[in-house]
Structure 1
Amino acid sequence: MAVDRRAAAAIIMTAIAMTERRAELDGAASATLVLLCLLWGLQQVAIKVAMTGFSPVLQGGLRSLGALALLWAWAALRGMRLFERDGTLGLGLLAGTLFAGEFLLIYTGLSYTTVSRSILFLYTAPFLVSVGAHLLLPGERMRGVQAAGLACAFVGVAVAFADGLRLPTNREMVGDLMVLAAAVLWAATTLVIKGSKLVRASSTKVLFYQLAVSGAVMPVASLLMGEAGVTAPGPLALACLAFQIVVVAFASYLAWFWLVARYPAARLSAFTFLTPLFGVLSGALLLGERVSASLAAAMLLVCAGIWLVNRRARAAGA
């Protein structure tokens, strides 16, 4: 009887989890995604400013450790058990390792290649997520119009950063490959979460795994890489680090992993093409950086791509 009760409970919990998943994005989810992309765009400025007081990889490690402490407090206030045995430990450590590797490659790659080139290679990730979901996740097959929408959004990003592109030097090619590998890890993290028991775990626990592993790995990597570490952090650098900890790594990632568990991967990934465009706008407004005249066209292409990816299919199928 005990086995029967456990089996029945598992069936009920699976049914509940399935009913929470949506085939399409609703208005609230879309608005949340735009806000998240805006925050991630602002993060690009925050990272640049915080580099005046903290080395890049150490900065990433401090961000994860600070957000981990906040997440632990959040879980305690809500009475959530982060260490309860639910069969997700191995998968969680895998997701955390992929997450840590992604940011290590991004920060290291940026020391070899330009920001413009790194953004283009990093934003191959939505394609990888969509193809992986199409091949590996039942119910997330990509339609032709969605593939066209992703391509349209990627072209928009390429248009925005076209001024900074040219044939790479050997050094830049090394950085390009690092950032491309980071894109693969970003996609792999999303697919591991979507295609495993982690999709039924709380978003708090999923994020906990990733912050814990990256918080442990990145400061050690910073030492091994010979980074300067904490140099002379002023109030502005500290404020930018605090923004990354509280707003980005804690609040925005918690919201993102909640969305990943409930909505189709391809539809979510299309919105992330807004992030580099918001980053350009943030750099122009806050740092006085030059904005390309083609930014408006880029924004239109990205928005058109998002619309195509999230367009409702006709009854006969699109």
Structure 2
Amino acid sequence: MQPASYAARRTRLDGLAISLILVCCAIWGVNQVVVKLTLPDVPPLMQAGLRSAIAAALLWALAAHRGIVLLSRDGTGWPGIAAGVLFGLEFVCLYIGLQYTSASRLVVFLYLAPFVVAIGMPFISPAECPTRRQVVGLCAAFVSVAFAFREGLAASAPQQWLGDGLAMLAGLLWGATTLTIRATSLAQTSPERTLFYQLAVSAPVLLAGAGLSGETMAWPPGTLALGSIVFQSAVVAFASYLGWFWLIRHYPATRVSSFTFLTPVFGLGFGVLLLGEELTPGLAVALAGVAIGIWLVNRR
């Protein structure tokens, strides 16, 4: 039997939820910069695999300390494996796709995920059927993100269609992961167990992908590489994902997912601050559009 706190589900986003979502989006935005800086030392799939493996170990230690059972025969095994496979394949598609298309194009297609959640949730929970206003808000946020990346969208490269297709598939997989969690027994289990399934299953998937693609890691790793892996493991894959699955467990998935449109905008902002990239008027316009879209999705 789950604790009462797990059984509670809110119908609207409160201040705690919005604050936690904003923190997650900011972390995921800066993570794009961190991954980019680390690529010369640690290739992408290996980065993702190592962070999943280390974060799974951290989560196991936390669960042992708090007396949380992560593995038991309670009907969550197969749904957990399915969610973990979807989670791992999402990152395989993302990082392979980066070899064929630009990051700006890829991130736009990735954020088809909120639409997947909005379309799928009415079949799981009729109470979360999106209204016409919410659909308009999702479209406004997506168009705003696409506008911010319009230069990347205008670029052309050989086999770009393959990278774009993989990015779209990654977005579908992300949305499918969220729907799997809400539609199965994972919706009634703890966020710690849900996250552990994803990390423990995705780690071998990602590391196997790194091996099959011939990725090699510089040895011994430098200070930047070590710091990056620690950040990606402890902050991104452990802390922020744990917060994300807690949000999906306790709040309407469509409303929560709409805020993820802020992630690429945060990524652009951190690129300006940390990499010295140009701050353009398009970024300000995109941020305003995303804010309007999120307001339409979540307003009373």
Confirm or deny: 8 A CA contact 2:136 2:293 kept in the other structure: yes
- With over 3 angstroms needed to count, the CA separation of the structure-2 counterparts of 1:16 and 1:205, relative to structure 1, is closer
Matched with 1:248 is 236
Question: Which residue among 289, 292, 296 is the counterpart of 2:284?
Answer: 296
Map 1:1-318 to 2 at 5 A: 18=7, 20-166=8-154, 168-230=156-218, 233-312=221-300
Write the distance in 2 (CA, Å) between the matches of 1:276 and 1:14: 36
Confirm or deny: 8 A CA contact 2:124 2:182 kept in the other structure: no
- With over 3 angstroms needed to count, the CA separation of the structure-2 counterparts of 1:116 and 1:232, relative to structure 1, is farther
TM-score, normalization by structure 1: 0.91
Deviation at 1:232, TM superposition (A): 5.8
- Secondary structure at the residue paired with 2:127? coil
- With over 3 angstroms needed to count, the CA separation of the structure-2 counterparts of 1:306 and 1:215, relative to structure 1, is same
Confirm or deny: 8 A CA contact 1:71 1:204 kept in the other structure: yes
1:125 aligned partner, one-letter code:
A
Deviation at 1:168, TM superposition (A): 4.2
- With over 3 angstroms needed to count, the CA separation of the structure-2 counterparts of 1:194 and 1:14, relative to structure 1, is farther
List gaps (5 residues or longer) in structure 2. none
Confirm or deny: 8 A CA contact 2:86 2:173 kept in the other structure: yes
Confirm or deny: 8 A CA contact 1:47 1:241 kept in the other structure: no
Alignment root-mean-square deviation, CA: 1.6
Deviation at 1:24, TM superposition (A): 0.6
Superposed CA offset, 1:100-133 (max 9, x none) = 0000000110111001100110011111111111
2:271 aligned partner, one-letter code:
G
Write the distance in 2 (CA, Å) between the matches of 1:51 and 1:232: 15
For the pair shown, the structure with the greater C-alpha radius of gyration is 1
Deviation at 1:291, TM superposition (A): 2.8
Write the distance in 1 (CA, Å) between the matches of 2:13 and 2:89: 29
Confirm or deny: 8 A CA contact 1:52 1:233 kept in the other structure: no
Deviation at 1:15, TM superposition (A): 8.5
1:300 aligned partner, one-letter code:
A
- Secondary structure at the residue paired with 1:21? coil
Confirm or deny: 8 A CA contact 2:32 2:267 kept in the other structure: yes
Write the distance in 2 (CA, Å) between the matches of 1:35 and 1:167: 31
Deviation at 1:54, TM superposition (A): 0.5
Superposed CA offset, 1:228-248 (max 9, x none) = 334563211221121111100
1:115 aligned partner, one-letter code:
A
Superposed CA offset, 1:31-80 (max 9, x none) = 11011100100100111111121011011000101101100000000001
Write the distance in 2 (CA, Å) between the matches of 1:154 and 1:84: 40
- Secondary structure at the residue paired with 1:256? helix
Confirm or deny: 8 A CA contact 2:84 2:199 kept in the other structure: yes
Deviation at 1:23, TM superposition (A): 0.9
Deviation at 1:136, TM superposition (A): 3.4
1:194 aligned partner, one-letter code:
R
Write the distance in 2 (CA, Å) between the matches of 1:297 and 1:77: 46
- Secondary structure at the residue paired with 1:142? coil
Write the distance in 2 (CA, Å) between the matches of 1:49 and 1:169: 23
